[in-house]
A = this chain, B = another copy of it.
Amino acid sequence: MSETTVSLGPNKYGKAENRVVRITRDTGRHEIADLNVTSQLRGAALVDSYLTGDNALVVATDTQKNTIYAFAKKHGVPSPEQFLLTLADHFVAGFEWIEGGLWQAEQYEWARILVEGKPHDHSFVRTGQGTRLATVQVIDGSTHVTGGVKDLVVLKSTGSEFHGFPRDEYTTLVETTDRVMSTSVTGRWRYLPEAVEAGIDYNGLYEEVTAVLLSAFATVHSLALQQTLFEMGKAAILARPEIAEVRFAMPNKHHFVYDLSPFGLENPNEVFHADDRPYGLIEGTVVRDGAAPAPEAWTDVPTFV
């Protein structure tokens, strides 16, 4: 009987969750960029670090960390996408054996504190309405960029129905024409490569897309969370020509009408229990027709959960 042997399959390595805060203080009116940055590298030549612990080609994760902080100084953080692109280019262009990698960022938003109605120059309060996301993927000789948002929690207190679903022996759900619908939106949009090439106003786009997602959630009369998801993605793509596709993961955060009938009280969708688990989990991708597919862009990117 032949001996069992093994080989190295897909892999990458790097430094995760570097909490970089960059203050721009060229004038008395400071600006703040607050990021959580992960850098990971790939390359066939790195196999020896796995097979024998030979680190001759291992750009240390500590070096990746230093580079992130140094680049925050040298290049600033015009946008998370642009910051990651600069990092990616550094590692792929600078080390011949580094063939690609995945760079990810979360960005936390801050607003200026109001003092007597005026925004303060150097004092900020963190807003918690969603966290901004970005990734840069270099793979198979191509570069892919995504933007996104997570933890954008929305609720509509009417304008949502759910009925017409099939019934089998395990179906007990009652059909409804009026329910609370609530979700925590995680959405990631992939930019068209030609748009990345031409340059994108990433910050302006983020503001517009998140506004469009919220507006679509609000105005779509929903027959299913799936339908709402699709209309939200469609609205984003219609709004911005730079977007090739949008991937969503949306938990259906159930709000159950509390049964008050034992207490002689009616409850016409007024009092709800917001439940934790289990939750519906609806995932879907909305794709611009004609955009070249790029499934490899999503390699190892957390999308559906």
Contact = CB atoms under 8 A, between A and B. Distances in A.
A114 interface: yes
A202 interface: no
B122 A158 contact: yes
Contact of A287 (B9, B155, B252): B9
Contacts of A11: 226, 283-285
Contacts of A7: 286-287, 289
Interface in A150-181: 151-159, 162-173, 180
A214 B114 contact: yes
B19 A273 contact: yes
Interface residues of A, number: 146
Given A122-B157, A283-B12, A4 B237 contact: yes
Interface stretch (A46-54, A78-86, A133-141, A193-201): A46-54
Interface in A263-305: 263, 265, 267-289, 300, 302-305
A205 interface: no
A16 B278 CA distance: 5
Interface of A: 4-25, 30, 32, 34, 38, 40, 46, 49-63, 65-67, 69-70, 72-74, 94-95, 110-111, 113-116, 120, 122-129, 151-159, 162-173, 180, 211, 214-215, 217-219, 222-224, 226-227, 229-230, 233-234, 237-238, 241, 245, 247, 251-252, 255, 258, 260, 262-263, 265, 267-289, 300, 302-305
23 contacts: A7-B286, A8-B285, A10-B283, A10-B285, A11-B226, A12-B283, A13-B280, A16-B279, A16-B280, A18-B273, A40-B283, A50-B230, A55-B224, A58-B166, A58-B226, A63-B167, A70-B263, A72-B271, A73-B271, A113-B217, A114-B211, A123-B219, A172-B262
